[in-house]
A and B are shown apart, each in its own frame.
Chain A
């Protein structure tokens, strides 16, 4: 292996080792005691500052890696920080919600996010997110942690294998989408063409949003990782419309689940505000860096970090020591 390759490998693995090495962690049995001890050993502002810095980095990586901040937030913060999963999930939903609220208005005004497509999808996803939140808060923490780990590893596989289709071939709109008049037009700046779009397999797509909603609510994850493939590959919406509608959709799905977590008492402002500011500022920097960064390399790094965090969540739930 050449010197440059070794250097690249080190850079790639740095965030993984940094997360594993810096933040203290105990086995499942001693989780609460270790967490309390670790949390109490630093001044409150140190934790707020660390949260801010880590979420800032997450915000940058999320934009460059093409994932939502929420999907990075929950496994990493619950795996490597002394905060209980209940508070991490509540914060994760609010972080994803704030990102969606910030992006939503612009995407709607530009007619990239389709309200017409989002309304029926959101009705199903948000109802199921409420159910998911209630299930997630009723189950023992270690079971949720195991399921979270398995889900994150599944997301990595999805990111590695899922294909994208810029403008999927939809020969004919199905009866339900025709009845609901879910179609539109957008201007593709890269080709200068005006694209007419319609969707198909609406019933199957809506059915998949039952699962997506439950998972989003249960784990406090933003669900962009699942929204986009379903809207794009299953229902046949163009990639740009899928990405924009997915981002806007999170503002509705995460709202419903966030209220459940809030009403249960799972929101600590000292965790929420530094994380929210960090992710938003990081996203802003990420958008600027997008012009010079190598997205493929960053995407591989994000998948690596996610896989590591997924394994960590899985082993933590199973009570197995891991780094």
Chain B
């Protein structure tokens, strides 16, 4: 009984795997975000929107912002990574994407433990997050 309590006091195998991936993803994402922001803010990489002009756009709604700047929404930022402002999206995407990876990684552990209900729930969550990330649900403005 005491041994059972000790086992329950410790986090489950899938919880520890999830935590490990989440931690690594968070550190990598934040690290990249800080480096790319320094490249942007210190003018090492030329931004698409000059820094002294950005304040013209941030007071308008996103539809006007996209229209006035000619920026394409969705995953178009991937094609604009040569610009200092858009390179920041790498770190942001890692931070927003690491959870999908966490869910996918724990599925084999759950299946091995014959925890089929949670394996299905984890797969469903990964699909939902992937759909949200994909841009299928709509891109660009109001």
| Residues of A bordering B, CB below 8 Å | 31-32, 34-36, 38-40, 42-45, 47-48, 82-87, 94, 97-98, 101-102, 104-106, 108-111, 114-116, 119-120, 122-123, 126-127, 130, 134, 137-138, 140-141, 179-180, 184-187, 194, 251-252, 255-260, 262-273, 276-277
Q: Which residue of the partner chain, among A138, A255, A268, contacts B96 with CB atoms under 8 Å? A: A255
Q: Which residues of A contact B133 (CB under 8 A)?
A: 259, 263
Whether the Cβ atoms of B128 and A256 lie closer than 8 Å is yes
Whether the Cβ atoms of A42 and B55 lie closer than 8 Å is yes
In the complex, chain B residues 26-45 whose Cβ is within 8 Å of any chain A Cβ: 26, 29-30, 33-34, 36-37, 40-41
Q: Which residue of the partner chain, among A40, A83, A108, A272, contacts B19 with CB atoms under 8 Å? A: A108
In the complex, chain B residues 5-33 whose Cβ is within 8 Å of any chain A Cβ: 5, 8-12, 14-16, 18-20, 22-23, 25-26, 29-30, 33
Q: Which residues of B contact A194 (CB under 8 A)?
A: 5, 9
Whether the Cβ atoms of B142 and A258 lie closer than 8 Å is no
B111 within 8 A of A: no
B71 within 8 A of A: yes
Whether the Cβ atoms of A259 and B58 lie closer than 8 Å is no
B3 within 8 A of A: no
Q: Which residues of A contact B19 (CB under 8 A)?
A: 104-106, 108-109
Whether the Cβ atoms of A111 and B56 lie closer than 8 Å is no
| Complex-state Cα separation, A140 to B89, whole angstroms | 27
Whether the Cβ atoms of B132 and A256 lie closer than 8 Å is yes
Q: Which residues of A contact B104 (CB under 8 A)?
A: none
Of all chain A residues, the one with the shortest Cβ separation from B66 is A265
Q: Which residues of B contact A256 (CB under 8 A)?
A: 128-129, 132
Would you give the 0/1 interface string for B69-92, flagging 1 where the beta carbon is closer than 8 Å to chain A? 001011100000000010011001
| Complex-state Cα separation, A48 to B41, whole angstroms | 10
- Are A87 and B62 CB-contacts (below 8 A) given A42-B55, A127-B128? yes
Whether the Cβ atoms of A263 and B73 lie closer than 8 Å is yes
B interface residues, tally (CB under 8 Å)? 69
Whether the Cβ atoms of B9 and A187 lie closer than 8 Å is yes
B108 within 8 A of A: no
Interface on chain A toward B: helix, strand, loop, or mixed SS?
Answer: helix
Q: Which residue of the partner chain, among B20, B22, B96, B121, contacts A120 with CB atoms under 8 Å? A: B121
Q: Which residue of the partner chain, among A39, A127, A277, contacts B58 with CB atoms under 8 Å? A: A39
* 10 additional A-B residue pairs with CB within 8 Å, beyond A101-B25, A259-B96, A262-B92: A94-B96, A101-B29, A108-B15, A126-B125, A137-B62, A264-B141, A265-B139, A269-B36, A269-B37, A269-B40
Chain A nearest CB from B25 CB (Å) reads: 8
Q: Which residues of A contact B22 (CB under 8 A)?
A: 101, 104-105, 108, 251
Q: Which residue of the partner chain, among A42, A186, A269, contacts B85 with CB atoms under 8 Å? A: A269
Q: Which residues of A contact B56 (CB under 8 A)?
A: 36, 39-40
Q: Which residue of the partner chain, among A40, A105, A119, A140, contacts B122 with CB atoms under 8 Å? A: A119
Whether the Cβ atoms of A268 and B58 lie closer than 8 Å is yes
Mind listing 16 A-B residue pairs with CB under 8 Å? A44-B54, A83-B59, A85-B61, A86-B61, A94-B95, A104-B19, A108-B19, A126-B132, A256-B128, A258-B96, A263-B138, A264-B62, A265-B73, A268-B54, A269-B85, A270-B40
Whether the Cβ atoms of A273 and B88 lie closer than 8 Å is yes
Whether the Cβ atoms of B73 and A264 lie closer than 8 Å is yes
Whether the Cβ atoms of B26 and A102 lie closer than 8 Å is yes
| Complex-state Cα separation, A83 to B58, whole angstroms | 5
Q: Which residue of the partner chain, among B55, B99, B138, contacts A39 with CB atoms under 8 Å? A: B55
Of all chain A residues, the one with the shortest Cβ separation from B9 is A185
Whether the Cβ atoms of A115 and B18 lie closer than 8 Å is yes
Chain A nearest CB from B141 CB (Å) reads: 6
Whether the Cβ atoms of A270 and B51 lie closer than 8 Å is yes
Of all chain A residues, the one with the shortest Cβ separation from B16 is A109
Whether the Cβ atoms of B118 and A119 lie closer than 8 Å is yes
Whether the Cβ atoms of A82 and B137 lie closer than 8 Å is no
Whether the Cβ atoms of B124 and A263 lie closer than 8 Å is no
Q: Which residue of the partner chain, among A115, A259, A263, A272, contacts B15 with CB atoms under 8 Å? A: A115
- Are A267 and B138 CB-contacts (below 8 A) given A105-B20, A123-B125? no
| Complex-state Cα separation, A185 to B9, whole angstroms | 5
Whether the Cβ atoms of B62 and A262 lie closer than 8 Å is no
